[in-house]
Amino acid sequence: MSRFFSNKFYKLIPYIPGEQPKKTDYIKLNTNESPFLPSDSVKEAVAEESKRLMLYSDPECIDLREKLSKVLGVKPSEVVVTNGSDEILNFAFMAFCDENHPIVFPDITYGFYPVFANLHNIPYTEIPVKADFSIDINDYIGINKNIVIANPNAPTSLLLSISDIEKIVSSNPDNIVIIDEAYIDFGGESAIKLINRYKNLLVTGTFSKSRSLAGARLGFGVADKDLIADINTLRYSTNPYNVNRLTLKAGMAALQDNAYYMEKCKKIVDTREYTARQLENLGFEVLESFTNFLFVKSEKIDGETLYKELKRRKILVRHFSLERIKDYNRITIGTKEQMEVLIEKIKEIFKENNL
């Protein structure tokens, strides 16, 4: 740290992203990306738009917002697009939380939430999930604090029903409830349909997972237009060109190719169920997944050792050192072939170590 770094931040512990190895000889199952290529029209749209890179992007992102709002069944004024969904989450923490408006979230959830809270000096409480890692909605009913819940949750892969989400939102009318739906296309029912009934609900989403665009950085927020206007005040006060030209076009083309992506989602769900059964056959405990990853534990080998042994064999999975989940690994669903290699390598590890 330099002597110039502001005192405000000297205790800040940044978010640690999953490894992004330079070498491509890994089977990469550690950051919940899609194993499938973007569709051809995305590649073509990006190549075509590259001719216009000397010009700034549209700060209103109007074409993409119009298209996205149609797909989501809302109005363009109820949508904002951002540089990944991390950015809309950051804006939401900034816009709606402060010393007098604290936020709560589960203790086992997306690791960026406490980082955003610390970054903006927001008091926060982590509410323990139950022993089976499920969220007890009674902990959130009428809590009278801002709330952020990933649904489905990460890294647990578990889902809350839309009626449970509605109970949480309706019982906290004077607080913002953020539902982070990064993984919703792999299992759950979106809370977007509730935004017209609840002025305090913000739903966030991403093109990183189900639409094979993690590297393009495209996220979005959907809420009542007044909440979206607040987010835009912050967006225009930080970076009005937050979504670049190539990404705007990639997003448009991806929405156009909806059928392609929904077919890939189905493949991922089928491969997820196949992998879950294979891992169970090897004695793993596998949480029921509504996402593009599995959260798994084996009595035979601890989470960190399995992570290291797989890495030696050129497979990357995610291990968290947090006490409650240190025995687990989070494994992204790749192609069927990649998952077959994973299973083979786990068998090899068990055999070599007489497990």
- Which residues contribute to the site for ligand PMP (CB under 6 A)? 84-86, 110, 150, 154, 180, 182, 206, 208, 214, 219
Minimum Å distance from CB 312 to ligand PMP? 25
Closest to ligand PMP by CB, 115 or 301:
115
Closest to ligand PMP by CB, 67 or 211:
211
Q: How many CA atoms lie less than 13 Å away from 7 in the CB half-sphere? A: 0
Residues 85 and 182: their CA atoms lie apart, in Å, by: 8
Residue 180 DSSP SS3: strand
Closest to ligand PMP by CB, 150 or 287:
150
Minimum Å distance from CB 4 to ligand PMP? 29
Q: From 90, 61, 27, 92, select the one nearest 243 (Cα to Cα).
A: 61
Q: How far is CA 71 from the centre of its chain?
A: 20
SS3 content of the chain, % helix, strand, coil (to 5): 45, 15, 40
Residues 230 and 209: their CA atoms lie apart, in Å, by: 27
- Which residues have C-beta within 8 Å of that of residue 66, sequence separation ≥ 6? 76
Q: Which residue is nearest to ligand PMP (CB)?
A: 84
Minimum Å distance from CB 129 to ligand PMP? 14
Closest to ligand PMP by CB, 145 or 330:
330
Minimum Å distance from CB 86 to ligand PMP? 4
Closest to ligand PMP by CB, 290 or 298:
290
Minimum Å distance from CB 148 to ligand PMP? 10
